[in-house]
Amino acid sequence: MAAFAKSSDKGYIPVSPGIFRKTLVSGARTLLTEFRLKKGAELPVHFHSHEQTGYLVSGRMILTIGDEVNEMREGDSWVIPGNVTHRAEVLADSVAVEIFSPVREDYLQE
């Protein structure tokens, strides 16, 4: 079944100080999320079983996946395998979109 979502500034959920997420759409096997990240924010080290594929729409950040550290700029992308630690330091106001597979049940909106 198809799913559509229209652009809206509503529905963003705080993840940590300066980081907000919004689930855009989900299907049987994937979930698309937008993150809005404020300069100076930090996403602490964490991991989950879901594979995570991301694209930096705008901004700049340092992304650490396992032992690899990369400065990400607008237009860059990444894949985080399931159960691998990762973290982010936001260097400029940023927007990222990420796909999770399988669907993150905890990200589904009620």
Pair 26, 103: CB distance under 8 Å = yes
- Provide DSSP, 13-79: EEEETTEEEEEEEE-SS-EEEEEEE-TT-EEEEE--SSEEEEEEEEEEEEEEETTEEEEEETT-EEE
Is residue 110 scored above 80 in pLDDT? no
Domains present along the chain, CATH in parentheses: 15-107 (2.60.120.10)
Is residue 6 scored above 50 in pLDDT? yes
- pLDDT reported for residue 64: 98
User: What would the pLDDT profile of 26-77 be if each residue is shown by its tens digit?
Assistant: 999 999 999 999 999 999 999 999 999 999 999 999 999 999 999 999 999 9
Omega before 102 within 30 of 0, i.e. cis = yes
For the whole model, what pTM was predicted? 0.93
Taking all residues of the chain, what is their mean pLDDT, rounded to a whole number?
95
- pLDDT reported for residue 80: 98
